Amino acid sequence: MCIYALMGLGLYIIFGQMGVINMAHAEFLVLGSYTMCLFSQLVTEHMPFLTNYYVVLAIPLSFGIAFGVGYLVEWSLISRLYKRPLDTLLATWGLSLIMQQSFRTFIGARETSATLPEWLLGSWSATDTIDIPVSGLVLLGLTILLTLGLIFYTKKTRMGLRMQATTQNREMTGALGINTKMTDRFSFAIACGISGIAGAFFTTMASTSPSAGENYIVDSFLVLVVGGLGSLAGLFVSAGFLALLSSILEFFMTGSIAKVILYVIIFITLMKFTKGIFYSKVRS
Amino acid sequence: MMNNLQKYSDSSIKKFLFERFFKNKEGVIGFAIIAVLLLVLFPTIFSTFRLNMIGKYLCYAFVSLGLVMCWGRAGILSLGQGLFFGLGGYCMAMFLKLEASDPESTAIQTTPGIPDFMDWNQITELPAMWYPFKSLSLTILLILTLPAILAYIMSVFYFKGRVTGVVFAILTQSMVACAWYFIVGNQGLFGGINGITDLKTLKGWDIRSEEAQTTLYFVCCILLLITILLSRYIMSTRLGRVLVAQRDKEMRVRFSGYSITSFKIFVFCLAGVVSSIGGAMFTLQVGFMSPNLIGIKPSIDMVIFTAVGGRESLLGAVYGALAVNAAKTTFSEAYPNLWTFIYGATFIIIVLFLPKGLAGLYENFIKPQLYKIICKFSSKKTEDSDDSTNLKPTVTDAK
């Protein structure tokens, strides 16, 4: 569930709030994963004394890198396309191709994974029969923390309020003297940063390869669409719903057929709730 | 519309059809150029191997044509055209596979007479859904009807629920992902990730011989030309105009009393059928069909062909499919790493600066120049057509 929710969080801002579709979203996740992997390699080679704590440092780092790249992308590409949402989709697909190829060329085509510190590998036995892996617990904690942070950011900070205002009425917000362009740029970059953190944590579960993003992209959009654009509660309900369904289905049949049935269930659900389960109005 | 009807009543039906198919002289010239290019020029200058490759690209041109109508004209972006392409392709592949696996040539299998991959997956009887593909006429019928039915089911609820462009695009993309998983998961039924391979004959006619490949190329070209004409016809009727109108101002058209939903469903189904024809021709010319030809990436590639050619121009779509595929083959052989960078960058540049693709380039820069030349030598038309062949002309029709 946390995986689905984490995938969706960044998109929640970009797609749900700003109405921009970012096909390169999955590549930002991968960017975060790579930051984590490379940082762990660096630490194990040059600073072995940090091995146990580097994860704490890697997370802000992956946020920072994804934030920076996101800022650049918004400035150079997205800001020109706000009025043409379908074209954004195509342009960001081009971007995702370029990013994938950069990973392949500059980092290497082989799958990499981070060396995890020992305290993440163990498991916590709640009772005699239940074992919960620590990495899963950390992931859960991180998801909750990120979500709370996001809620705090959107509801309480000045930048978050500006973002909401811009979402609701761009002209009026501009007229009130708020720099909507900067707001967009900052929101986009923050969303990319969050994806970076999410990606960093995916390394605890799977290895990273240049084309890893393909596995995330469809799922992360569907989570958001099922939940209803622009609704954080919807995002969580649908993440839970999809995670539960997929683990039940995968128990009974092979992975790919489970996926097919999961998708078909989603399509049928959306035929009934065409605006998502939790619908709230977004910028059109 | 009134003008058209008046002309219809007082002049001949010929003139009416001419208007519908070509709009004006420019339309005729554009169509003639592409016909000459495909039917005369390419066969004379290229070897059979190259011709077969061009035939393959032309199959993608079918999909692009569908996308021009669905996306360019009606504003419905579908990232799932690969689904329909694959549907046509798989129907044809299933027919050919059944023919290739007659009891004599599959005598070494545990169960002779069924496709080899079924035998590997311990299936002893031909599944019921393969039976229709024993007859060619039924297969062709299915190639034309199945995509329409599927497209109807896929779109009817969403369009009724007013699912807007971006969300619909995501949904179609998920559908194509779903289809990909479905084929990969059903190894015994559809050959899984390997696809359906080893296709040999069509009604006893060897499709791998040079002669057959040339014939198939011409069949493909002629089908494509017919499709272009029919698409032009459909787009020049009132239906086509309503589609364009609802793309630009949906609410205004709704308030004028049109039921937009049915128009949208129609054009989506039409695009599906056209893509399916392309898929069937693809299988015939290439000799296999696999899920990797219809996944998420190939489906977006198809949108890219359309965007490069010009999303509103039917002829542009054909040039787009040809140009991008030719570039892909040439560059990806020579510089496999660099190619993806170029591909991605081209795409961003086209979206940012040339939203109308090659057709827009022609309309804005080449056409005015051409008119100047024509005005100078007002009597000589031949020069014009020669000139524009090199410059990849695209004649946008009724807007």
The predicted pLDDT at position A147 comes to 84
The predicted pLDDT at position B11 comes to 63
The one-letter amino acid code at B32 reads A
Query: Are B169 and A93 in contact (CB < 8 Å)?
Result: no
The predicted pLDDT at position B384 comes to 46
**In the predicted model, what is the mean pLDDT of chain B?**
82
> Which of A4-18, A120-134, B202-216, B366-380 has the least mean pLDDT?
A120-134
* Pairwise CA distance, residues A230 & A239, whole Å: 14
Residues 347-376 of B with CB under 8 A from A: 347-348, 351-352, 355
* Pairwise CA distance, residues A228 & B25, whole Å: 50
More confident residue, A178 or B393: A178
* Pairwise CA distance, residues A187 & A193, whole Å: 10
Assigned domain for A271 exists: no
Sign of CA dihedral A115, A116, A117, A121: negative
Q: Which of B178, B261, B332 to mutate to test the interface with A (most CBs of A within 10 A)?
A: B178
B186: closest chain A residue by CA? A257
Residue B88 pLDDT class (50, 70, 90 cuts): very high
* Pairwise CA distance, residues B5 & A270, whole Å: 43
According to DSSP, residue B70 is labeled I
* Pairwise CA distance, residues B32 & B12, whole Å: 23
Residues of B within 8 A of A16 (CB-CB) are none
The predicted pLDDT at position B385 comes to 45
Query: Are A260 and B178 in contact (CB < 8 Å)?
Result: yes
Sign of CA dihedral A24, A25, A31, A37: negative
B157: Cβ–Cβ under 8 A, 6 or more apart, which residues? A270, A271, A274
Helix (H, G, I), strand (E, B) or coil at B214: helix
Other CB atoms within a 10 A radius of the CB of residue B166 amount to 20
The predicted pLDDT at position B8 comes to 52
Assigned domain for A233 exists: no
Please state the domain count of chain A.
Answer: 1
Longest dimension (CA), chain B: 75
More confident residue, B241 or A279: B241
Q: How are beta strands A131-133 and A123-125 bridged, if at all?
A: antiparallel
Q: Does B399 touch chain A (CB under 8 A)?
A: no
Four-CA torsion B345, A17, B255, B151, nearest 10 degrees: 60
The predicted pLDDT at position B396 comes to 45
Query: Are A90 and B351 in contact (CB < 8 Å)?
Result: yes
> Which of A117-121, A133-137, B56-60 has the least mean pLDDT?
A117-121
pLDDT at residue A122 is higher than 70: no
pLDDT at residue A284 is higher than 70: no
Query: Are A91 and B348 in contact (CB < 8 Å)?
Result: yes
* Pairwise CA distance, residues B219 & B206, whole Å: 15
Residue B145 pLDDT class (50, 70, 90 cuts): very high
Q: Does B168 touch chain A (CB under 8 A)?
A: no
Assigned domain for A150 exists: yes
* Pairwise CA distance, residues B258 & B250, whole Å: 10
> Which of A91-100, B116-125, B268-277 has the least mean pLDDT?
B116-125
Written as one string, the DSSP assignment of B313-381 is -HHHHHHHHHHHHHHHHHHHHH-HHHHHHHHHHHHHHHHHH-TTHHHHHIIIIIHHHHHHHHHHTTT--
pLDDT at residue B382 is higher than 80: no
Two tokens, residue B130: 């393969």
Please report the ipTM that was assigned to this predicted complex.
0.81
The predicted pLDDT at position B10 comes to 56
Residues 248-307 of B with CB under 8 A from A: 296-297, 300, 303-304, 307
Q: Does B127 touch chain A (CB under 8 A)?
A: no
More confident residue, A108 or B313: B313
Other CB atoms within a 10 A radius of the CB of residue A272 amount to 9
Q: What is the residue range of A27's domain?
A: 2-213
Spacing of C-alpha A48 from chain mean position: 30
pLDDT at residue B237 is higher than 50: yes
The predicted pLDDT at position A1 comes to 61
Confirm if B98 and B202 have CB atoms less than 8 A apart.
no
The predicted pLDDT at position A221 comes to 83
* Pairwise CA distance, residues A254 & B373, whole Å: 65
Query: Are A90 and B307 in contact (CB < 8 Å)?
Result: yes
The predicted pLDDT at position B378 comes to 67
Residues of A within 8 A of B162 (CB-CB) are 274
Confirm if A243 and A1 have CB atoms less than 8 A apart.
yes
The one-letter amino acid code at A245 reads L
Helix (H, G, I), strand (E, B) or coil at B103: coil
Reference B139, options B172, B178, B99, B109; nearest CA is: B99
Confirm if A123 and A55 have CB atoms less than 8 A apart.
no
* Pairwise CA distance, residues B314 & B395, whole Å: 8
The predicted pLDDT at position A123 comes to 66
* Pairwise CA distance, residues A155 & A139, whole Å: 24
Assigned domain for A218 exists: no
Assigned domain for A173 exists: yes
Write the pLDDT tens digit of every residue in A235-257: 888 888 888 888 888 888 877 88
Reference A255, options B186, B85, B394, B274; nearest CA is: B186
Helix (H, G, I), strand (E, B) or coil at B209: coil
Q: Which of A86, A238, A269 to mutate to test the interface with B (most CBs of B within 10 A)?
A: A86
pLDDT at residue B393 is higher than 50: no
For the packed helices B48-67 and B210-236, what is the interaxial angle rounded to 10 degrees? 20
pLDDT at residue B318 is higher than 70: yes
Spacing of C-alpha B276 from chain mean position: 8
